[in-house]
Amino acid sequence: MTGLLGLSWRLLRGGGRGGLLGAGLTAVAVAVSTALLLFAVSANLAFQGRAEREAWRNPVAADADAVAVQAVRRDYVRDRGVTVVDVAALKPAAAPPPGLERFPAPGEVWFSPALAELVRELPAGELADRFPEKIGGTVGDEALVHPGELVAVRGQEPGSPVMTVKAAQDPLTGTAPTRVAGFTGEPTGDAQAYQALALIATVLMAVPLLVFGGAAARLTVARRDQRLAALRLVGATPGQVVLMTVAEAVITAAAGAVAGVALYGLLTPLLGGIEIAGGSWFAADLWPGVPYTMAVLVAVPLLVGLSAVVGLRRVVVSPLGVARRETPPAMRVVRVLALLAVLAVVPTLGAGTAAGVVAVVLGLAFLAINLTGPWVVGLIGRITARTARRPARLLAGRRLIDDPRAAWRTVSGVAMTGFVAGFIGLLSPGSGLLGDADATTLRLTVPAAQVSQLTGEARERLSAAGVPARVEVTGKGGDRTLAVTVTEAARVDEAVIDRARTALDGMVPGRGATSEADEELFGVLLLEDVGTGTVVVLTVSFLVAIVSAGITAASSVLDRRQTYALLRLAGTPLEVLNRARRAETLVPLAVMGGGSIVVGMFCAVPFSFSAMNVSGLTVLLACVVLGFAGVAGAGAASAPLLRSVTANPAPRPD
């Protein structure tokens, strides 16, 4: 056992310059995969963390054992939302809300750090006057969704108007006073929606990552199989060959995984700055924690080892399998049927389908594309080889037929990205829907009985605050709306609106004056988040795609260095070899990339809010251009490698 491991270690070290380069490439691939995998895991954990930290503001009603009353209201300052939570203890022993060291006494207010700073910065008439209470302390991070979140927690008497009013049950404006047994609450629907989106994004990123990891593992095997087949020929048992392969792949992958954790650590400050739902992330959000990190550190080398075993199956089954390269059996059409089967399921989905189901179907579609890919590549190869007139295309076509899986590995990343781009491109809602709502008219819902009295009070408050405004009454029935339009013709800026908001604050218990633009804020943020998410997912996919294209291109040069060198000695121009290598990547890329985009778009049809729109098209176009340029560039990057490995006039197989 130790003898075998020692031998594997020597094989790994003794592989020469090419061998070490191959192992290095594997390690790099594994490191990138690991870093991205950690990112995917952390992103989900981070959204879960946000949901949990926000849950206490989404009260669950309790009857008999209530210890407190809680009301939540959405207020606005500038173009940001402020969450105002009013709490009143019903029992002296009531535990404080999360993030507060004690239960706020009536007449006390606790600010989140960002709100405290804003209160200090802005003129009192624009924000601070809304909170005349005594400052009790600072709301801790454990009760905040993100570091910049604006939250105020006020202590009230249980009998105060704010705690007894029947506010409208509108989730946009807040939650009416609720008797609660504690401040655990439950995750809001919005938070759950974000978690679902994060899960889908993870699937979109994870499958290419797995494919990539597998490719990296086979990269080790590809260079080794010749030698291992030789070992098998001299009598090594299948078990020994497998063990040695696994040992070598796992050693390399473990080193790569550790480097990946370090890489991720370096990237977290950058990733933490990505704003979602109006805010960036706490450093701890993006740290997946020791158990998950350990799990990734163990799982990645294991997966790579497993993938190596699968790649070696042929050598193990027959010691001659690799030494004598036979025509690989043609791939079965079943692969295409798998894709068609998954696609048949897609139309049954809809906007109402559970996110888990959508994620599973997307994952299956992904895997099906991955199954179909090599088959299609083989087909493309046969067509290319049959129609080729020049040597380069003939070489490319024959190579595609010979090892469609290898060719697929090179382009799969970009093809997968095409799928993602197609999916998201159709999914992003039109940008024209939002953004031009009225921001100058604040509306306040008032009981019909008090309309005239409150209209007068509003006028008084506004003129006291020096805000020139017109106050009108609209609506019928029990609730009327006071529409306050700021009328200073010359300049209506955010500051004036905030003065008006502050002036009207507290006039009707539990209600604030909001504009249409305020109410739209959530939608605007969501739209921005979809855009951000798209960019993140596509960036990750492209990173994977291009690194994987570069690595496979380099490894194919290394694999075939002897033949390439001898061809060059016999006078074959390097340009022909490079042209062949280019064609063997770009031809399948064009077909598979285009095909994947179409499949991705098809999968998005049941969910699309609108027809194909300009921003979606732009993203798609950018993807196509970037994909081609990236893969072509990554392939071209190994041209110097080709030159150097073919420069040796006495090439020997290693």
Partner 1 sequence: MTAVLEGFDLVKRFGATVALGGVALRVGRGEAVAIMGPSGSGKSTLLHCLAGIMKPDGGEVHLLGQRIDTMRERERSALRRTRFGFVFQFGQLLPELPAEENVALPLMLGGVSRGDAVRRAREWFGPLGLGGMEGRRPGELSGGQAQRVAIARALATRPAVVFADEPTGALDQATGHDTMRLLVEATRGNDASLVVVTHDPQVARWCDRTVEVRDGQVLASAGYGAPLPPGGHGAGGYGDSGDFGDFGDFGDFGDSGVSGVSGADGTATRILPGVNG
List contacts with partner 1 (CB under 8 A). Answer: 324-327, 388-391, 394-395, 398-399, 401-403, 562-563, 566-573, 576, 649-651, 653
- Residue 222: CB minimum distance to partner 1, A: 13
- Residue 654: CB minimum distance to partner 1, A: 11
| Amino acid at residue number 251 | I
Smaller CB distance to partner 1: residue 117 or 326? Answer: 326
- Residue 327: CB minimum distance to partner 1, A: 6
Smaller CB distance to partner 1: residue 149 or 403? Answer: 403
Smaller CB distance to partner 1: residue 34 or 646? Answer: 646
526-533: long-range pairs with CB below 8 Å, 24+: 527/429, 527/431, 527/434, 528/275, 529/194, 529/197, 529/276, 529/277, 530/197, 530/424, 530/427, 530/428, 530/429, 531/428, 531/615, 532/274, 532/275, 532/276, 533/197, 533/201, 533/276
Smaller CB distance to partner 1: residue 461 or 568? Answer: 568
Query: What region does 108 belong to: left with phi over 0, alpha with psi -120 to 50, or beta?
Result: beta
- Residue 322: CB minimum distance to partner 1, A: 9
462 within 8 A of 469, measured Cβ to Cβ: yes
Smaller CB distance to partner 1: residue 120 or 386? Answer: 386
Q: Which residue carries 């759950």 as its tokens?
A: 192
Query: What region does 475 belong to: left with phi over 0, alpha with psi -120 to 50, or beta?
Result: left
- Residue 311: CB minimum distance to partner 1, A: 18
- Residue 317: CB minimum distance to partner 1, A: 16
Smaller CB distance to partner 1: residue 399 or 461? Answer: 399
Question: What stretches of 510-638 show up as alpha helix (H) in DSSP?
Answer: 516-559, 561-569, 574-604, 614-636
| Half-sphere exposure at residue 461, Cβ-oriented, CA atoms within 13 angstroms | 21
Pairing of strands 108-111, 134-138: parallel
Q: Which of 335, 436, 323 is nearest to 379 (CA)?
A: 335
Pairwise CA distance, residues 151 & 143, whole Å = 9
- Residue 275: CB minimum distance to partner 1, A: 50
- Residue 649: CB minimum distance to partner 1, A: 5
For residue 399 the two structure tokens come to 């190579």
Q: Which of 213, 417, 398 is nearest to 308 (CA)?
A: 213
642 within 8 A of 563, measured Cβ to Cβ: no
Smaller CB distance to partner 1: residue 128 or 388? Answer: 388
Smaller CB distance to partner 1: residue 324 or 491? Answer: 324
Q: Which sign does the torsion angle of CA 312, 317, 318, 319 carry? A: positive
Smaller CB distance to partner 1: residue 555 or 596? Answer: 555
Q: Which of 458, 545, 540, 544 is nearest to 503 (CA)?
A: 458
Question: What stretches of 346-464 show up as alpha helix (H) in DSSP?
Answer: 355-387, 391-402, 404-427, 451-464
For residue 539 the two structure tokens come to 């960036």
Pairing of strands 108-111, 151-155: antiparallel
Give the phi and the psi of residue 485 in degrees, each rounded to 5.
-105, 120
474 within 8 A of 480, measured Cβ to Cβ: yes
Smaller CB distance to partner 1: residue 332 or 652? Answer: 652
Pairwise CA distance, residues 392 & 387, whole Å = 12
- Residue 593: CB minimum distance to partner 1, A: 23
Smaller CB distance to partner 1: residue 346 or 401? Answer: 401
Q: Give the other-Cβ count within 10 Å of 531's Cβ.
A: 15
Smaller CB distance to partner 1: residue 458 or 580? Answer: 580
